[in-house]
Structure 1
C-alpha cells in the first residue's frame, strides 16, 4: 500500500509540475512535512523527491529546501545544448572572431595549395605530430614562459581532445581528481565518461583554497588536480606566482599529477609562468587554438613529462590517430609567421572592450570577472533563481548558462555565466541590458 501511495505521489507531483499548476520556483513541503501529510515513512518521502529530481523536475538546495525547476529550460543548460534557434543571441558559448579572419583562411589555403608538400598531407601523420610542427608549438609556448623541447609536445584535435587523451593515458576509473568547486564543464563530462571521482575545492582569493587541497590530500588518495591557473573559467582569476609555487609544492608532497588547462591563458598579458614550468615532472599542460584563433581550427597541444609521452600518444592513436594534416599545416604556419601572436593581441584588446561594456551595463550587480576575459560570472541574490532567469532570457531570445554545468559540489549557486565573445558589440550591449532587466524583474 505504501508503494502505491509513493508512486501515486510521484505521478501527481510530476503532472502538476508539467502542467504548470506548480510553477517553477515553488517551494515544496519539507521531507518530514511530506511524510506526515501523506502517511509515509521519512525515507519514502525522501525517495519521492529523489525520483522527481532524477526526472529533472525539482532540485534540492542545502538549507533552503526543495524547489520546482524551470522545465522549459534544457537540462544542464550550457553544455548539452549548442544549436540555437534562428535569431537567438548567444551569451552561452564563446567563439570569438575578428574581422578579416576569413580572408586569413583564404590566403592560407592559397599558400598551402602552392606548396610542394601537399601529397604528404594526404597520408597518416605521426600520432604526436611531425617534428617540425611540434617544434613550431614549442617555439610558441616559449613566449608563454614554457621552454620545452619538441619531444615533449604532442599535437591533438583541440584542447578538449588533449584533456581526453591525458585522462585516458594517465588516470583510471575510480581515481580521485581535485577540481575547483566551479570548473570547466568539459572536464566534468570527461570525469563522468571515464569514471573519475571529482573532489571539489572551494575558492579562495584569486584561486583554489590550497589549504583545503592539502587537507583533502591528507584524507583521501588524490591522484590528480585539474586547474586553470591563468584565466579561470568561469571566475576569471589568475593565480599569483606565489600560489603557483605553493600548488607545485603540494603536488610534489602528495605525488599529484597536475593537469593545467590554459585554453584562455592567451588573454592575460605577461602572466606568471605556467605550472608546467614550475613542476615539469608532475604537470601536463593542455591548450589549443580554438579561442585565440578560431573554434573551427581543431588543433591543440599537450606538453607532458617525457615518461608520459608514450602513453599520451597511445591514447591519441586509440582515438583520432593524428590531427588532420591540412589543419595542422595551416595552424603551424600561423604560429611561425606571427599570425597567432597578432590575433592574440587583437583579441585581448577586443575582450577588454567587451568587459568595459559589461562593467557599464551590469554595474552594481556584483559581477565576478577579469578585465580581459570573454566571460562574466553573475551571482544572483537569494530571492532570484538562476533557472527562472535563464528561461526568461530564452523567451527573450538570449541564451545564457546557469551555474549547474560548472558546479562540482552538491551546492549549486544561483548564478549565470555570460559569454561576451560571440556577438556584435551593439547586440552585446542591448542583450546585457535585457539581462539586467530580467534579473530585476525576479528580485522581490
Structure 2
C-alpha cells in the first residue's frame, strides 16, 4: 500500500511503541486490510522523518503482537486478528504470546528483540515470553535427548511402579528413599570422583536444582557470577528472585581467573555458575589447570560454585570436577534431560554435606516437592542400567547427526564436537545473529541467536548462533532443517533486513 502512512499517536512513551500502536489501530479499523503489504522500512522512515531503526522496532512490535508476518525477500504483510486470517498465514511463526496467556516451555528459548526489553523485569521474563512456533517448525532451539525408543522401557517401569507403590503415587512425597540417593550417586559419578551418598539430593530436573541452590546460599540483593556466555535462563531466574547477575569475562577455556578475581574483589558475588565439561553454547571443555585456578579464587573469596554437568554427562573424560577440587563449596548438578530423556524430569545435586538438607528444603519450598512417580522412575532407569544404555545410544545418535552437520554446514566456521548436541556457528558477513535467526524462523526453522546466552547487557558481539539438532524426531527432519539453513546462508538476501 504505497499511499498509506500511519498516524503516530501523541503522548508519552517511546516513539516506536506509539508508531506500532498507530499501525495496529489502522489494522483494526480496516485501513490496512488483511494481506496488505506495509511500506519498506527505509521508505516509511523517509516519509515520516524518523530513523530506520524506529521503523524496524515498530514493525518488530506489531510482529510480536501477531498482526503482521515478515517474509524474507517479499516484505511485511498484514495478518489481521480475526477469522479473516487464512490458514496458511495463521500457521506461520509469529512473535507473540499464546492466546491463553500461558508461557511456552522452557526449551522454546527464542528471546525477545531488544525493542521489547523495556525494563529489568521484562529482561527477567525474556526467556519465557516466547513466540508460538508453527506446528511444523523444525526445532533447532532445543537440545533435549533424541528419541531412540525410550518409551517402551519407560512404559514397563511405570507399570511396575504403579503396581508396586499405588499409595506412594497417590500421596505427597515426604522422605527420600535410600535407593534414590544411590541412583544419584551412580549417575553423577565420574572416573576421577564419586560423591558421598549422603550428599545427594534428588530434584525435579537441573534448573529447579540450581534455583534451589541459589535460594539456599544467597539472599535477595546478593550477586551471582555468570560467564559472559552461559545458559541465561539461570541468570534470568536469579534476577527474578531478587539476586543480581554479574558478568565475568571468559575465553575458550572458561572464566578468566584474573577477571573472576577482579569481580570478587569489587562486587563480592556469593555464587559462581559454570558449565565446565561441556559449555553451553560453545561446547568447549575447561582444562584441569583452569579448574584449579578457579577453585583457588573461590576459596580466597568464599565463593560457592555451581557445577552444571547436564551436558557433561554426554562427554567421557577423566578431568577432575570442581566437586573433587573444592568439595566444601561445590554443588555438582546433573540430570537425565540431555543424555536419557527430558520428560521424566530426573535430576540430582551432590551438595557439600553441610548444605544437603538446606538444598532439599529449598527445592521443596520452590517446587512444591518432588514427584514420587518421576523420582522412582528416574531411579529405576539408573539402577536397572537402562539409563546408561540410553546414554551410549544417544551419544551414537549425536555422532551420526554430526555427520549431517558437517555435510551441510561444514564449510562455515563453527565450534562443534561429536558428543555435543549443538554447534556454535559463526554467521558469515554481513549476517548478524539476530537477522539470521529471524530469517530461519521465517522458513520455519527455530534456532537461538547469541543474545539468548548473554546473562545481561553486553557490548561484546560474537556473530554466532547455536543450532541444536537432537530435538527433531528423525534424521530426515534434521537433514531438512540443515538444508534450509544452508540455503539461507548461501542466498544471503535476508541479511540486511529480516522484515523486508
TM class by smaller structure: 0.7 to 0.9
Paired residues in the alignment total 412
The answer for the alignment partner of 2:203 in structure 1 is 156
1:93-132 pair list within 5 angstroms? 93-115=142-164, 117-126=165-174, 129-132=176-179
In the alignment, structure 1 residue 434 sits paired with structure 2 residue 484: yes
1:241-272 per-position Cα deviation (integer Å, ceiling 9, x unaligned): 12111111111111111011111111101241
Give, in angstroms, the shift of residue 142 of structure 1: 2.8
Q: Residue 368 of structure 1 corresponds to which residue in structure 2?
A: 415
Counterpart check, 1:165 vs 2:215: no
Q: SS at 1:284's partner residue?
A: strand
| 1:66-88 deviation line (CA, Å, top 9, x unaligned) | xxxx9964671694337532211
The 3 A distance-change label for structure 1 pair 5 and 84 is closer
Q: Any stretches of 5+ residues in structure 1 without a counterpart? A: 30-36, 39-44, 58-69
> Paired residue for 1:410?
458
Change (3 A) 1:216 1:319: closer
Kindly provide the CA deviation profile for residues 267-313 of structure 1, in whole angstroms up to 9, marking residues without a partner as x.
Answer: 10124122111111011111211222211101211111122123212
- Structure 1 residues 232-243: aligned runs within 5 Å: 232-243=279-290
TM norm structure 1? 0.83
**Shift in alpha-carbon separation, 1:8–1:305, aligned structure 2, 3 A:** closer
How much does 1:192 deviate?
2.1
Indicate if the aligned counterparts of 2:409 and 2:482 stay in contact, CA closer than 8 A.
yes
Q: Which moved more, 1:233-242 or 1:311-320?
A: 311-320
Unaligned runs of 5+ in 2: 1-9, 25-36, 63-75, 77-92, 97-109, 113-125
Quote the residue 2:447 is aligned against. 400
RMSD of Structure 2 on Structure 1 (CA)? 3.3
Matches within 5 A, 1:292-371: 292-371=339-418
Alpha-carbon distance in structure 1 between the residues aligned to 2:155 and 2:16: 58
Q: Give the 3-state SS of the residue equivalent to 1:260 in structure 2.
A: strand
Q: What is the distance in 1 between the residues matched to 2:184 and 2:11?
A: 63
Q: Secondary structure at the match of 1:404?
A: helix
Q: 1:22 to 1:339 in 2, by over 3 A?
A: same
Give TM-score, length-normalised by structure 2.
0.74
Structure 2 residue corresponding to 1:85, chosen from 134, 145, 148: 134
Q: Is the 8 A contact 1:268 1:372 kept in 2?
A: yes
Asked whether the equivalents of residues 172 and 194 of structure 1 are also in contact (C-alpha less than 8 Å), the reply is no
1:436 to partner: Cα distance: 2.0
Distance 1:237 1:17, change over 3 A: farther
The alpha-carbon deviation at position 428 of structure 1 amounts to 1.1
